[in-house]
Structure 1
């Protein structure tokens, strides 16, 4: 499928025409600019869309510490855990094709996965981080070897019984989802996610799971906080294997515009530009709160997890905005990014940056920016 041109990906419109307060969006941009000036990160992108139109798409600062490499509208940022929702969307399509159920045990599709007590782990357990093996790891040599990857996840060992606790599975659950997709379809999971989600949305030029070497020049570098006026490179992202592997729970690359479009699809009930990815009922189902007020032992607070994204709920969620509607749903990327949609207003939001800040500072930043965008909704 041919990627959409920039002009056809999503049409721009003024905030006023979309019922948004431009002053609130300008204030959000001022805050991002102040953070760059304050040395919190070298660069960023911010996008806000509503009703299928792009109200704001702004680039800030530098893609690398070389100030001549400015962030522009085609700069690709590492998505980290924002990738999880893209991977989950491919699972949603399999469920709607009758190839899978959320209640299916993984071992029904991946023989051998039942080893080490995992026979009762379901697809829903994986997507809600209740599978029971949050610390399990896949060695880098398995990333692009399908058979070795399958053997690696079958060897995962339970740390506690499935559904007895909720603990963020940083990478493990989505590696299992990758193997599950391959077991059902018989093709590489990266290809399936691209063909089922990325290409139908017209995002093939702005969203990647497995960054081609030819696109490296567009990728923002990723840093850790400044030390003695130097920006240390994040060692994981700096490794070529990370960029190429397309790690299903952390390895995506995209622009903020692409993420705003992805969340517009969900805000519009599973369709974008006349192309339906999944049904409205599916979006309604996967964005429900399946874990309620159950505290996630990793984060220390309730995550209100759906089957892919998490939701704000009545008690709130760090980063989704203090005044957001309870139905607001989205995901974060470790200390760097946040993307969400409010289905009641039709607004989608994406912020991407290139320094891994601590979660306390990042969540505060995102709450402020998200609250401003929620406050911009006037009608």
Structure 2
């Protein structure tokens, strides 16, 4: 299947090319300064690709290409959550349902009242819970592992980012309702209908391993350090639902085009407009996310810009309805439904949050600055 976004150019899509040129120049400068070996960036509007570029090296000594798959880290969360949106569209769950309604053993240790909405908005109460790697490929053990999670605080009483735990529960929910591996559901029900199964990969097969960029820590003694935990075939195959997917920038720009346009990409409708409006609402108001230290305006997967002075990743000057997600120290993807623009940036170094937050505010704000009225 052909890539779903026809190629265009900024001017044809009412985008000012000057901020986009500055954006690309900053990415090139950051690579020259040694902040990361390689990167991709993409900007799309109205179902067409305005910009897609790759930079530097996917792995040290190997150039990045248009086909390079970058570790998405927590950008994966929105893709995973979209499987639950689809099941809600089909009447197989309600967001007000307790998780334990579908996974009865999850009720253990006082978790019986946690709703799917609380789960996806990082209000579940078990942010530090972990799934051992031996459970990644054994889904009966995975279900038991998430059921054994214990609470750190009363569900709904706080907003605190759950780095991986909540979306392991989401994966188990998908499997409990469908009877299928969550990775297969995402591939067959979300990515394949959109024509994105080669561009967004949750659970990487052996054939795609050569396309995968390595992920690095910042330079030590002048050299990038590969991250041992992530650069393994087992990690690639697991498709960790909260942070282990891989993607291209133009693939995620296309995914967010679907969301920017009310659930439709090209001629394929995946979600209803009302569903997209609902899951991208701000369900946590201006409450502080205790992990991030600022309001995150959580939706059921993505977070939104909102109207607070400080934003994470989506660009200070972005429209309040802009929504998206980041990947720790390395990436951000978002959509602005008011203009029809989507944006994706990936790099292959897990930089410090201080650098990453400043970098993404600049890059995202430049993308917003390019948006001209239709």
TM range (shorter): over 0.9
| Contact 2:4–2:265, Cα closer than 8 Å, also in 1 | no
Secondary structure of 1:57's partner? Answer: strand
- Please give the alpha-carbon distance, in whole angstroms, between the structure 2 residues aligned to 1:247 and 1:42: 24
Structure 1: 4+ residue segments shifted above 3 A = none
Q: 5 Å matches for 1:100-111?
A: 100-111=93-104
Name the Cα RMSD after superposition: 0.8
| Contact 2:102–2:177, Cα closer than 8 Å, also in 1 | yes
The equivalent of 1:280 in structure 2 is: 273
- Please give the alpha-carbon distance, in whole angstroms, between the structure 2 residues aligned to 1:221 and 1:277: 32
The equivalent of 2:370 in structure 1 is: 376
Q: Does 1:322 align with 2:316?
A: yes
| Contact 2:304–2:321, Cα closer than 8 Å, also in 1 | yes
Listed as ranges, the gaps of 5+ residues in structure 2 are none
- Please give the alpha-carbon distance, in whole angstroms, between the structure 1 residues aligned to 2:163 and 2:174: 19
- Please give the alpha-carbon distance, in whole angstroms, between the structure 1 residues aligned to 2:316 and 2:164: 28
- Please give the alpha-carbon distance, in whole angstroms, between the structure 1 residues aligned to 2:359 and 2:273: 32
The equivalent of 1:336 in structure 2 is: 330
TM-score (norm 2): 0.98
The equivalent of 1:29 in structure 2 is: 24
Q: 2:258 is matched with which residue: 262, 265, 276?
A: 265
The equivalent of 1:48 in structure 2 is: 43
Q: 2:109 is matched with which residue: 108, 116, 127?
A: 116
CA apart distance, 1:372: 0.7
- Please give the alpha-carbon distance, in whole angstroms, between the structure 2 residues aligned to 1:235 and 1:105: 37
Secondary structure of 1:44's partner? Answer: strand
The equivalent of 1:64 in structure 2 is: 59
Q: Does 1:89 align with 2:82?
A: yes
The equivalent of 2:349 in structure 1 is: 355
Q: 2:13 is matched with which residue: 18, 21, 32?
A: 18
CA apart distance, 1:378: 1.4
Q: 2:145 is matched with which residue: 140, 152, 155?
A: 152
Secondary structure of 1:231's partner? Answer: strand
The equivalent of 1:141 in structure 2 is: 134
The C-alpha deviation readout for 1:163-211, integer Å capped at 9, x for no partner, is 0011110100000111111111111111011112111110111111011
For this pair of structures, how many residues does the alignment match?
372
TM-score (norm 1): 0.97
Secondary structure of 2:113's partner? Answer: coil
| Contact 2:296–2:312, Cα closer than 8 Å, also in 1 | no
The C-alpha deviation readout for 1:81-128, integer Å capped at 9, x for no partner, is 000000011100000100000000011110111100000011011100
Q: 2:218 is matched with which residue: 221, 225, 231?
A: 225
CA apart distance, 1:230: 1.4
